[in-house]
Amino acid sequence: MAVTKFLSRKTRLDTIIKYIMNGEKTEKMMYVSGVNCNPNTAVQQMQDTKKRYNKEGGIISYHLIQSFEGKEVTPEKCHELGLQYAKEIFGDDYEFVVATHLNTDNVHNHIVINSVSFKSGNKFYSNRETKDFIRITSDFICKENGLSVLSTPWKYKGYYKLYAKNNPYMQLVKKDIDDAISSSYSYKGFKTRLENQGYFISYNEETGLLVSRNNSYKIVRPQELFGDNYTKEKILNRIENKNYNKIYIPKKKYKMTIEEYNKFKQKQREYQLGKLPLLYVFICILLKIDPLPQKIEINNHKIPITKEMKIVIKHLESLSEQTILLTENKINNLNELKSYRYNQEEKLRILKGKRESLWRKRSKETNPEIKDKITHEIDDLKVLIKKVNKDIVNCFEIENRTILLKNQLEIEKEKNKVNEKKDKSRMR
């Protein structure tokens, strides 16, 4: 069981780092690690980052404490969990030092984080959501490693679901899970559909269902974040109940003639074309492109159009939004896209912090005119937050589609190599 505390510091960065790196408390610095910085020069590196972006005032660092009960974990395991914990919260954008103290009955981690990102120069802002997210992350890591969690009730009821509702990545995962349930006829098919979209699915009795994606470090636990309808048993029930009324007795097989088959395929194509957006079909006609191609050609390699790709074609509006996002921000590769997403996530955190301070200000205000003015400001922020959320979701979808396309391209290249070898052997 881990207890967490999150503190902000406005003075003496050197003092707090010197305290956490005390050799008497860390077995002669055996359990001290720096991420994106060297522990011995961390103070200077963090100060240099602040000077580079001209952000030396205000909150200079954050101090995160993670304490485990008694001898529940070894010092090595405690330090490993501390590193995992900090990376899960702050990712690769911030410099921080992790030190494990062994001088008390409870082995515990001290983590000092620079308040300014060394990559983007954005400042980390803590709010109510941040503090609860820190506890959520701690609970998830403990469960993942077979440790107990705090039984103390949450200050805000149903916070897991509230956090998931406000997080664009979690909402994207929820949407993909719902889509996989609605289009699957078995649990195996459900897993396959998610895996085809770049997800990794695992299950055990202690942690329940775990979902992660190959372009994100976040592990999602659907049953805790989205509710009881997302346990493995409920997902099975939803798939079975959906298909219950569709069960039918197959008739005797009928073998089509070539003419009948061609007519059937023609009718199927007409039906599929009717489902596509008219603008997309019109543009394809002007460009003399097949609106429903069976394969697309990339670098002289023909890649079959998968069912997932056909579904994407139908969502032309979101595709056009993603194209505008890439062109307006001059994004040319995956690294630039990830950098843009990190900036948007930081921007979202700042906007939510501003909205929270306006909520507090409005609750204390007694003048109706000023109260209305604050409400208008909150409404304006709501529009901005919605737009940034949409951008983040689009970034995740572009990343995932790019990774899947690259993987498919590699598969096709391997197939071509095998076919070339077979052709050469036949010629001999």
Residue 116 per-residue DSSP state = B
pLDDT reported for residue 156 = 47
pTM of the model: 0.50
Q: How far is CA 287 from CA 133, 273, 290, in A?
A: 49, 16, 9
- 310, 357 Cβ separation under 8 angstroms: no
- 358, 381 Cβ separation under 8 angstroms: yes
Q: Which residues of the chain have pLDDT under 50?
A: 156-157, 244-249
pLDDT reported for residue 105 = 80
Residue 212's H or E segment, with its range, is strand 208-213
* Terminal alpha carbon distance of the chain: 68
Tens digit of pLDDT for each residue in 395-418?
A: 887 877 777 667 666 767 777 777
Which of helix, strand or coil describes residue 122?
coil
pLDDT reported for residue 417 = 75
pLDDT reported for residue 275 = 66
Give the domains, in start order, of the chain with CATH numbers. 2-152 (3.30.930.30), 163-244 (no CATH), 317-427 (no CATH)
Residue 45's H or E segment, with its range, is helix 42-52
pLDDT reported for residue 302 = 61
Nearest CA-CA partner of 95 in 79, 78, 130, 119: 119
Query: Alpha-carbon distance 172 to 381, whole Å?
Result: 22
Tokens of 253: 């097989």
Query: Alpha-carbon distance 419 to 413, whole Å?
Result: 10
Tokens of 77: 């395991």
Nearest CA-CA partner of 214 in 197, 232, 230: 197
Query: Alpha-carbon distance 382 to 208, whole Å?
Result: 34
